[in-house]
């Protein structure tokens, strides 16, 4: 995470360093990798396009008017712009100016306000009405959603009108929403069976014929669960959490198509939506392996490669192969790498096919 403070006066620089120290402690305790910089406004003006594009948060300590005029030409949309926050140089008010939900400016505003005992200024409609929002619900699980922009506008508007939006969250992802205001206003169902019982009367109707146009938001990485709910002919909106990782091993120069076919087949057989993947990993020796890089690029995954000593630290939990040890220097690759990426929460143990191995894990909150 990249956080940049933009300052003009000596007072604003002092305040930026004070807040930075607080934030560094917070990020350290939460095990969040973060780079915090304090930048002079004159330097920001020279390189603002680059700084804007490379930052997760821009925190301006100056007048709001200066900020608006400085960044107006850089704005794209709330789904890609960084969170922008404005603070007066005495630290009395912290204003969430831009990308309050998806950019995290509202959360950061609240955090900073508590750290320096300031007044948080948040103006997004759902927040000021004490309601959750669809875009924040998606963000909490790094969700994959089709038409996120249009759906956020539609569902947030319905929430503001106090219209009923039903919500079901697969048990494995409920920890992301416990005591989280992003689901306020949704009608949350705890049990899958209760949803079926509630809406089984719609099973022989089309969506247009249902009495009140019910919307059911489903947070799940299960192929079968989403398909079963879609049979009810409700308007089911699928949010797929991108929390699954795969550890892989393969022989040199494995065919890309064969590699992909095997991975996809195993995900389907284990009832996992492929869009739920966020990361693929292997041993450092494989960092140039074309099949892994091609798969990573095609599905938009982060690719991580680990040194043998890192893999050795967890390999005793898994089956060992002398053959693999001779080839790559460790007894196993797929499961230990998967273990590292998901802190040991492996949900699909190692499977093998024609020199390819894979294991699937799920990141937990």
Is the CA virtual torsion 176, 177, 182, 186 positive or negative? positive
Task: Say if residue 139's pLDDT is above 60.
Answer: yes
pLDDT bracket for residue 78 (50, 70, 90): confident
Please state whether beta strands 235-239 and 346-353 pair in parallel, antiparallel, or not at all (unpaired): unpaired
Q: pLDDT over 90 for what percent of the chain?
A: 76
Task: Say if residue 22's pLDDT is above 80.
Answer: yes
What pLDDT score does 25 carry?
83
Task: Say if residue 208's pLDDT is above 50.
Answer: no
pLDDT bracket for residue 29 (50, 70, 90): low
Task: Say if residue 160's pLDDT is above 80.
Answer: yes
Q: What is the average pLDDT across 262-281?
A: 97
Task: Say if residue 254's pLDDT is above 70.
Answer: yes
What pLDDT score does 79 carry?
85
Asked if residues 59 and 15 have their Cβ atoms less than 8 Å apart, the reply is no
Q: Which residues pair with 83 in a beta bridge?
A: 57
Residue 84 sits at the vertex; the CA angle it makes with 111 and 150, to the nearest 5 degrees, is: 105
More confidently predicted of 33 and 21 = 21
pLDDT bracket for residue 202 (50, 70, 90): low
Q: What is the average pLDDT across 201-213?
A: 49
Task: Say if residue 209's pLDDT is above 50.
Answer: no
Task: Say if residue 83's pLDDT is above 80.
Answer: yes
pLDDT bracket for residue 30 (50, 70, 90): low
Half-sphere exposure of 257 (CA within 13 A, CB side): 0
Q: What is the average pLDDT across 267-282?
A: 97
Task: Say if residue 144's pLDDT is above 90.
Answer: yes
What pLDDT score does 210 carry?
40
What letter would DSSP give residue 82?
A: P
Nearest Cα residue to 277 out of 292, 255, 256: 292
> To which H or E segment does residue 194 belong?
helix 192-199
Lowest mean pLDDT among 102-106, 140-144, 200-204, 308-312: 200-204
Half-sphere exposure of 328 (CA within 13 A, CB side): 24
Q: What is the average pLDDT across 252-260?
A: 96
Residues 90-121: pLDDT tens digits? Answer: 999 999 999 988 889 999 999 999 999 999 99
Question: Exposure string (b/e) for 202-219, b if CB count within 10 Å is 16 or more?
Answer: beeeeeeebeeebbbbbb
């Amino acid at each position: 995470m990249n956080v940049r403070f933009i300052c003009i006066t000596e007072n604003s620089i002092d305040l930026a360093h004070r807040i930075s120290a607080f934030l560094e402690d917070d990020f350290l305790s939460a095990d969040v990798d973060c780079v915090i910089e304090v930048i002079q406004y004159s330097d920001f003006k020279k390189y603002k396009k680059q700084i804007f594009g490379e930052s997760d948060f821009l925190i301006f300590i100056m007048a709001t008017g200066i900020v608006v005029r400085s960044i107006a030409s850089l704005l794209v949309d709330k789904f890609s712009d960084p969170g922008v926050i404005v603070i007066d140089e005495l630290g009395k008010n912290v204003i969430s100016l831009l990308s309050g939900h998806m950019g995290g400016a509202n959360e950061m505003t609240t955090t900073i306000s508590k750290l320096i005992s300031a007044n948080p200024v948040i103006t997004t409609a759902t927040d000021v009405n004490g309601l959750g929002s669809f875009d924040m619900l998606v963000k909490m699980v790094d969700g994959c959603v089709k038409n996120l922009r249009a759906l956020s506008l539609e569902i947030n508007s319905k929430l503001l009108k106090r219209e009923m939006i039903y919500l079901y969250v697969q048990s494995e992802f409920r920890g992301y929403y416990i005591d989280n205001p992003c689901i306020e206003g949704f009608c949350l169902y705890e049990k899958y069976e209760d949803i079926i019982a509630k809406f089984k009367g719609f099973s022989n109707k089309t969506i247009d014929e249902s009495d009140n146009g019910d919307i059911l938001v489903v947070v799940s990485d299960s192929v079968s669960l989403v398909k079963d709910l879609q049979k009810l002919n409700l308007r089911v909106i699928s949010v797929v959490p991108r929390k699954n990782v795969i550890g892989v091993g393969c022989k040199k120069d494995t065919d890309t198509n064969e590699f992909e076919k095997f991975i996809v087949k195993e995900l389907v057989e284990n009832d996992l939506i492929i869009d739920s993947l966020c990361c693929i990993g292997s041993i450092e020796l494989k960092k140039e392996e074309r099949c892994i890089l091609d798969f990573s690029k095609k599905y938009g995954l982060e690719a991580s490669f680990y040194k043998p000593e890192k893999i050795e630290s967890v390999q005793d939990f898994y089956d060992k192969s002398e053959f693999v040890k001779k080839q790559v220097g460790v007894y196993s690759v797929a499961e230990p790498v998967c273990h590292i990426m998901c802190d040991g929460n492996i949900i699909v143990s190692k499977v093998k096919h024609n020199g390819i191995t894979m294991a699937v894990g799920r990141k937990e909150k």
